[in-house]
Every structure is written in C-alpha cells, then in structure tokens.
Amino acid sequence: MNVQAESYQTIYERACERKGGEQALEGLLSKPLSHKVLAQLGDDRYLAEFTRKMFQSGFVWRVVDNKWPAFEELFWHFDIEKLLMMPDEMLERKAADPRIIRHLKKVWSIRDNAIMISDVQREHGRFSTFIADWPTDNIIGLWQYLKKHGSRLGGNTGSYALRALGKDTFLLSRDVEGYLRAHKVIDGSTSTKRSQQQIQAFFNRLQEKSGRSLSELSRLVALSTGDNHIQATQTEEPAHA
C-alpha cells in the first residue's frame, strides 16, 4: 500500500482551522479512562454497554437511550450470575416486553455475552481487568476477540461500546474511513484483517509522534476531513468519530 502520509501536525492544524481554532478543537476531544478506573468498573457495566450498542446498531440511538431504564430493570441491571441462570422461556418473555425494543435475537445475545464475560472471569478473575489490560497498540485484537467470542459485537458495535466505556480505541466512522481511503492507508473493506492491521499501524505511528490517545487521534482525523465543518458538540456521533 502506497500510503500518502500526513504528519500529525498537518492533521491537527487542519482540524483547528475547520473547528475554529485550537481551544475550540481541544474542547471536542475527550481522553479515555485510566487503566485503574477501567479495571474498577463492574463487569455488569461492560455487559450493559455491549447491550446498549447492540440495540443502537441500525436503530435510532435516542430511542434506545429513552428505553434504557426499562432494559436495566428487566435484566436485573445486567447481573451476570442472574442472567446465566435465566431459562429460555423467561428470556423469550422478556424479549416480548413492550417497555424495551422487542428483538428476540438481540435479547438472546444478552445471555450469550454474559456467558462470554463469565468465561473470561474464570480465566482472568474480572472481565474489567481483561479489558483494561488489553494493549491499545493491538486494539483491533480486542475487537476481533469480542467478535469471535461474543454475540453481535462485530462491525462497529464492539469498538463503539469500548469507546463508550472509556477504553482507548480508534473508531472507523464514515469520516475516518473516508480519510483512510483518500490517503491510501487502505483500499479494501475495513473489516478485513489486513485492512485493520494497516489502520492499527497508521494510528500507532500517529500516537508515537504525538503522544495522544487513540481516541483523541481518531477524533482529530475525523474532524480534519469529511462534512463536519460546522461547530460540533461534545456528543460524539457515529459518523464523526
């Protein structure tokens, strides 16, 4: 791949110009949580965010957020042990509850992902520690783990959940993908192992030069390109990661 490389400074200066200056741009960036804080999160919160992003996939995020208190109540605040003991008949009844988004296959995935977390707990003690310990210079490996061992966590679902939880990760939003193609970092699907390795290497290089987190860097790349000239908000939308 003949990468048309840009320096970190070039990307940063263009993002500043598009967003109204350095101060305005810095206000749009957020840092990931520390290893210590990530490791202290309850494993139930990981399952909850996986579930939220799973239901938001292909759906209006606001609707899922509005119904979220009912999800928390109906699934015992995502208590792993309780969900593992849930019989099929109860799961099917919960999937039909009008207070949540009724989607049997996605509801079934809640228990499947509880099983994945339980499997990790047996080997690592806590799922939160497993996530916190995962090296960010191979964050695509964590994406692939969630896709392989979890349920419905492929595509962008797993990475968006990790970002929401505070784990340092880049995102393959529309703007980021557009940049990567325009600068010939990739030429195939972003879902292939080869493309993801090339993207990881690109962000690792930027991180080495800048000292910034992957989260900040993918946000900077997105804000330096695409159709987001207008002043953005602190809320990160999927298209402008």
Residue 236: its pLDDT value, please?
A: 38
Residue 240 has pLDDT above 60, yes or no: no
pTM: 0.91
Mean pLDDT (whole number) for 142-152: 98
Q: Is the pLDDT of residue 2 over 70?
A: no
Cα 95 to Cα 13, 55, 108, 115, 211: the distances in Å are 49, 12, 8, 18, 45
Region class of 78: left (phi > 0), else alpha (psi between -120 and 50), else beta: left
Is the pLDDT score of 218 beyond 70?
yes
How far, CA to CA in Å, does 163 sit from each of 38, 116, 124, 167, 213?
Answer: 11, 19, 22, 5, 12
Task: State the Cα–Cα distance between residues 207 and 202, nearest whole angstrom.
Answer: 9
Task: Provide the pLDDT confidence category of residue 73 given band limits of 50, 70 and 90.
Answer: very high
How large is the average pLDDT for residues 189-211?
A: 96
The pLDDT score that the predictor gives to residue 235 is 33
Q: How far apart are CA 18 and CA 228, in angstroms?
A: 8
Q: How far apart are CA 224 and CA 221, in angstroms?
A: 5
Domains by residue range for the chain, with CATH: 36-165 (1.10.340.30), 170-226+237-241 (no CATH)
Residue 234 predicted with pLDDT over 70: no
Average pLDDT, the chain: 92
* Model pLDDT, residue 227: 74
Say how far apart CA 48 and CA 71 lie, in whole Å: 9
pLDDT at residue 241 in the model: 61
**Model confidence pLDDT, tens digit, residues 110-145:** 999 999 999 999 999 999 999 999 999 999 999 999
The answer to whether residue 229 scores a pLDDT higher than 60 is no
